[in-house]
């Protein structure tokens, strides 16, 4: 019997996902037409013997989350529960805190998945690797190019045994081109090292007195406190994959992840991809259109487009490399490229909403998203244009490389700006 834990974080995390994260917790943001963590849940539900999925995080449970859980339980016929941390406990603290729930029923092993990754989730292969040689910790690793590996957790492995010899989180100099995917398979023994870290942290706190320089009580950072500390001691192993993988930290990376998933739908969910039908809009490449969306027949969509629930797309609209969230309207002749149009937003006729993609170099198979800061040298870096919830763009203007906060009604064109 197996379980899965999805670490979903909380509102203090994921600030790079603003302003989209103002409306919906990041784990529920739709990527390729479905909530981010639904991709995780789908993958877990397909593992034979999966008994239960636990979400651990520190969001206050709200209507959106509750509804999502109910719907997911129904669809996948699996118990899915949300365990709320009382305070942010780091990437490992929640696992330790809820260890009893995780180990209830005596699972053989449990997967731990970070919510903000996009992957083809090779869980079956990881399980096989684990069963051949059960160890406390199995990490899923993939390859990045040398410069970009510095943005991730780097793994040095023994190429024969696949043991993790060394682990460093975001080093400043090159360590390894194998990076941590944030997808793990732990056996129940993994909780012992977590306990050790927890107890050690407690002692250190008591000794030191002030809580200034130490993380909060109960906080455990998996990467630094466990992986780095235990590497080279025969406890941590890595399974390599060259399937799709990307982190989803910012809106730009959500668009890129959307493209990866949409492409994968050709294999896994072809019914989710829009087809060219007579009288329907022109479809290019991979496009997801929610069944309740209304799209004019002279519109040209794609590649890499996701259209959400109840969206209206007018005549002559050109929509490419973008996500249109639920209830938004694109009026006639608009052109939306490399953008995310927020819930309920309205884009006026002939307006042009355009961003700049910062996607990994498509000619380099190991290229990953770069570290995604908003600014460099005081200037806003050209990036995906984001319209927050209920933004109104007037007719005929240009919104280029800008971020518009929710409920804003614009009156003119903007380039390279954050509009409060």
Partner 1 sequence: MKALILVGGYGTRLRPLTLSTPKPLVDFCNKPILLHQVEALVKKAGVNHVILAVSYMSEMLEKEMKEQELRLGIRISLSHELEPLGTAGPLALARELLTENSDPFFVLNSDIICDFPFAAMAKFHQHHGQEGTIVVTKVEEPSKYGVVVSDADTGRIHRFVEKPQVFVSNKINAGMYIFSPSVLQRIQLQPTSIEKEIFPVMAKEGQLYAMELPGFWMDIGQPKDFLTGMCLFLQSLRQTQPERLYSGPGIVGNVLVDPSAKIGQNCSIGPNVSLGPGVVVEDGVCIKRCTVLRGAHIRSHSWLDSCIVGWSSRVGQWVSKGCGREWVNSRTWGGDRQLVGERVGGGERRWGASSFLNPTSSPTCPQVRMENVTVLGEDVIVGDELYLNGASVLPHKSIGESVPEPRIIM
Q: Is 385 in the site for partner 1 (CB under 8 A)?
A: no
Binding to partner 1 in span 391-420, by CB under 8 A: 396, 398, 400, 415
Binding residue for partner 1 (CB under 8 A) from 286, 339, 345, 358? Answer: 286
**At closest approach, how far in Å is the CB of 307 from partner 1?**
16
Q: Is 316 in the site for partner 1 (CB under 8 A)?
A: yes
State the maximum Cα–Cα separation within the chain, in Å, rounded to a whole number. Answer: 73
Q: Is 262 in the site for partner 1 (CB under 8 A)?
A: yes
Q: Is 282 in the site for partner 1 (CB under 8 A)?
A: yes
Between CA 227 and CA 7 the distance in angstroms is: 17
Axis-axis angle for helices 191-208, 90-97 (nearest 10): 110
Q: Decide: 348 and 394 in contact? Cβ < 8 Å.
A: yes
| Stretch of residues binding partner 1 (CB under 8 A), selected from 105-113, 137-145, 194-202, 254-262 | 254-262
**At closest approach, how far in Å is the CB of 44 from partner 1?**
25
* Closest to partner 1 by CB, 130 or 352: 352
Question: How far is CA 281 from each of CA 278, 336, 341, rounded to the nearest angstrom?
Answer: 8, 15, 19
Binding residue for partner 1 (CB under 8 A) from 354, 369, 399, 414? Answer: 354
Q: Is 135 in the site for partner 1 (CB under 8 A)?
A: no
**At closest approach, how far in Å is the CB of 328 from partner 1?**
18
Contact code string over 292-311 relative to partner 1, x by CB under 8 A: ------xxx-xxx-------
Q: Decide: 216 and 85 in contact? Cβ < 8 Å.
A: no
* Closest to partner 1 by CB, 118 or 164: 118
Q: Is 352 in the site for partner 1 (CB under 8 A)?
A: yes
At 210, list the tokens. Answer: 């002030």
**At closest approach, how far in Å is the CB of 203 from partner 1?**
51
Binding residue for partner 1 (CB under 8 A) from 159, 270, 291, 362? Answer: 362
Total number of residues that touch partner 1 (CB under 8 A): 35
Binding to partner 1 in span 318-347, by CB under 8 A: 318, 320, 332-333, 335, 337
Apex 59 CA angle, 192 and 67, nearest 5 = 110
Q: Is 381 in the site for partner 1 (CB under 8 A)?
A: no
**At closest approach, how far in Å is the CB of 196 from partner 1?**
44
* Closest to partner 1 by CB, 171 or 316: 316
Between CA 25 and CA 8 the distance in angstroms is: 9
Q: Decide: 145 and 114 in contact? Cβ < 8 Å.
A: no
* Closest to partner 1 by CB, 145 or 263: 263
Q: Decide: 404 and 391 in contact? Cβ < 8 Å.
A: yes
Q: Decide: 211 and 111 in contact? Cβ < 8 Å.
A: no
Binding to partner 1 in span 23-82, by CB under 8 A: none
- Contacts with partner 1 by CB under 8 A lie at 259-260, 262-263, 266, 276, 282, 284-286, 298-300, 302-304, 315-318, 320, 332-333, 335, 337, 349-350, 352, 354, 362-363, 396, 398, 400, 415
């Amino acid at each position: 019997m197996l379980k899965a834990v999805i670490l979903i974080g909380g509102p203090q995390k994921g600030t790079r996902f603003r302003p989209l994260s103002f409306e919906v917790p990041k784990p529920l943001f739709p990527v390729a037409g479905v909530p981010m963590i639904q991709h995780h849940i789908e993958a877990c539900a397909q593992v034979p013997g999966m008994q239960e999925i636990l979400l651990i995080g520190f969001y206050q449970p709200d209507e959106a989350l509750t509804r999502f859980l109910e719907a997911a339980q129904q669809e996948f016929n699996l118990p899915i529960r949300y365990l709320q941390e009382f305070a942010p406990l780091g990437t490992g603290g929640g696992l330790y805190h809820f260890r009893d729930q995780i180990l209830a029923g005596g699972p053989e092993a449990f997967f731990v998945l970070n919510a903000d990754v996009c992957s083809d989730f090779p869980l079956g292969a990881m399980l096989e690797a684990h069963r051949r040689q059960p160890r406390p910790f199995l990490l899923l690793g993939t390859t990045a190019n040398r410069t970009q590996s510095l943005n991730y957790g780097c793994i040095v492995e023994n190429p024969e045994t696949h043991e993790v010899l060394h682990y460093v989180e975001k080093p400043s100099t090159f360590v390894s081109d194998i990076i941590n995917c944030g997808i793990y398979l732990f056996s129940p023994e993994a909780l012992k090292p977590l306990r050790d870290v927890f107890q050690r942290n407690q002692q250190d706190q008591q000794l030191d007195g002030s809580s200034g320089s130490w993380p909060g009580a109960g906080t455990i950072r998996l990467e630094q406190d466990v992986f780095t500390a235990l590497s080279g001691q025969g406890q941590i192993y890595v399974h390599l994959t060259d399937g799709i993988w990307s982190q989803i930290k910012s809106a730009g990376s959500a668009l890129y992840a959307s493209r990866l998933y949409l492409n994968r739908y050709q294999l896994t969910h072809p019914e989710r991809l829009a087809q060219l039908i007579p009288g329907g809009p022109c479809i290019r490449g991979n496009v997801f259109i929610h069944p309740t969306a209304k799209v004019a027949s002279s519109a040209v969509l794609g590649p890499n487009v996701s259209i959400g629930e109840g969206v209206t797309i007018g005549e002559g609209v050109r929509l490419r490399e973008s996500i249109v969230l639920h209830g938004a309207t694109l009026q006639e002749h608009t052109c939306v490229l490399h953008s995310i149009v927020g819930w309920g937003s309205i884009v006026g006729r002939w307006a042009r909403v355009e961003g700049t993609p910062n996607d990994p170099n498509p000619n380099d198979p190991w290229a990953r998203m770069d570290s995604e800061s908003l600014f460099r040298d005081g200037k806003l870096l050209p990036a995906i244009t984001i319209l927050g919830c209920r933004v109104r763009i007037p007719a005929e203007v240009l919104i280029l490389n800008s971020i518009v906060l929710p409920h804003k009604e614009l009156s003119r064109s903007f380039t390279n700006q954050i509009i409060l």
